[in-house]
Amino acid sequence: MKMTKRLFENDTMTAEERLQAVINLQVPDRVPSSPFIYYFAAKYAGITVHELWSERKRYLAAIDKCFDELGPWDAYYPVNPRYPEIYTLIMPMKARWPGIDLPPDSICQLLETEVMKAEDYAWVSEMAGKWGRLSYVGFFLRMIARAWDHIDEGFGAFTYAVPRMVHHLAGWRLEFDSWRRRGVTTLYGFLPEVAFDSFSLARGLMPFVKDCRVRPEEVARAAEDLTEGYYFITRVICALMGIPRAQLFLHRSSNDFLSPKMFNELAFPSLKSLVDRLVAAGIQVVLHCDGNWDLNLEKLRELPAGNCIVEFDGPSNIFLAKEVIGDRMCIMGDVPPDMLCLASVSEVDEYCHRLIEEVGKGGGYIMASGCEVPPNARPENVRAMLGSVTKYGYYGTKPREQSPIPEPHTMPT
Partner 1 sequence: MSEDIAALIADVDEERTLAAVASALDAGTDPLLLVEALRHGMSSVGERFEAREYFLPDLILSADIFNQATALIEPRLEGGSGPSRGGVVIGTVQGDIHDIGKNIVATMLRCSGYDVHDLGVDVPPAAFVGKVKETGAGLVAMSGLLTFAFDSMKETVQAFADAGLRDSVKMMIGGGPVNETVLDYCGADAYGKDPSEAIRLAGALIDAALPLGSQTRSRPT
- Contacts with partner 1, residue ranges (CB under 8 A): 96, 106-107, 109, 111-112, 205-206, 209-210, 212-213, 255-259, 262, 295, 314-315, 336-339, 341-343, 374-377
Phi, psi of 218 (to 5 degrees): -65, -40
277/340 Cα distance (integer angstroms) = 37
Of 9 and 347, CB closest to partner 1:
347
Name the minimum Å distance from CB 259 to partner 1: 4
Task: Give the CA angle between residues 269, 147, 293 to the nearest 5°.
Answer: 35
| Secondary structure class of 106 (helix, strand, coil) | coil
Name the minimum Å distance from CB 205 to partner 1: 5
Phi, psi of 186 (to 5 degrees): -115, 135
User: Quick check: 103 and 163 in contact, CB under 8 A?
Assistant: no
Q: H helices within 215-317, ranges in order?
A: 216-225, 227-241, 260-262, 268-280, 297-300
Name the minimum Å distance from CB 382 to partner 1: 13
Name the minimum Å distance from CB 343 to partner 1: 7
> Residue 52: exposed, middle, or buried by beta-carbon count in 10 A (0-12, 13-18, 19+)?
buried
Name the minimum Å distance from CB 324 to partner 1: 17
**Nearest-CA neighbor of 244 among 16, 3, 89?**
16
Of 24 and 106, CB closest to partner 1:
106
Is the Cα dihedral 29, 303, 318, 230 positive or negative?
Answer: positive
Of 161 and 343, CB closest to partner 1:
343
Of 210 and 361, CB closest to partner 1:
210
Neighbours of 345 (CB within 10 A): 14
Of 204 and 399, CB closest to partner 1:
204
Cα separations (Å) of 167 from 20, 58, 61, 133? Answer: 29, 17, 19, 22
DSSP-derived secondary structure letter, 263: I
For residue 153, give the amino acid letter: E
Name the minimum Å distance from CB 257 to partner 1: 6
Of 98 and 387, CB closest to partner 1:
98
Name the minimum Å distance from CB 74 to partner 1: 25
Name the minimum Å distance from CB 384 to partner 1: 16
| Secondary structure class of 75 (helix, strand, coil) | strand
Query: Within the chain, what is the greatest distance between any pair of CA atoms?
Result: 60
Of 8 and 53, CB closest to partner 1:
53
Of 333 and 337, CB closest to partner 1:
337
Of 256 and 357, CB closest to partner 1:
256
Name the minimum Å distance from CB 336 to partner 1: 7
Of 113 and 402, CB closest to partner 1:
113
User: Quick check: 318 and 334 in contact, CB under 8 A?
Assistant: yes
Name the minimum Å distance from CB 341 to partner 1: 5
User: Quick check: 353 and 399 in contact, CB under 8 A?
Assistant: no
Of 141 and 352, CB closest to partner 1:
352
Ordered DSSP codes for 3-49: ----SBTT--S-HHHHHHHHHTT---SB--B--B-SHHHHHHHT--H
> Residue 295: exposed, middle, or buried by beta-carbon count in 10 A (0-12, 13-18, 19+)?
middle
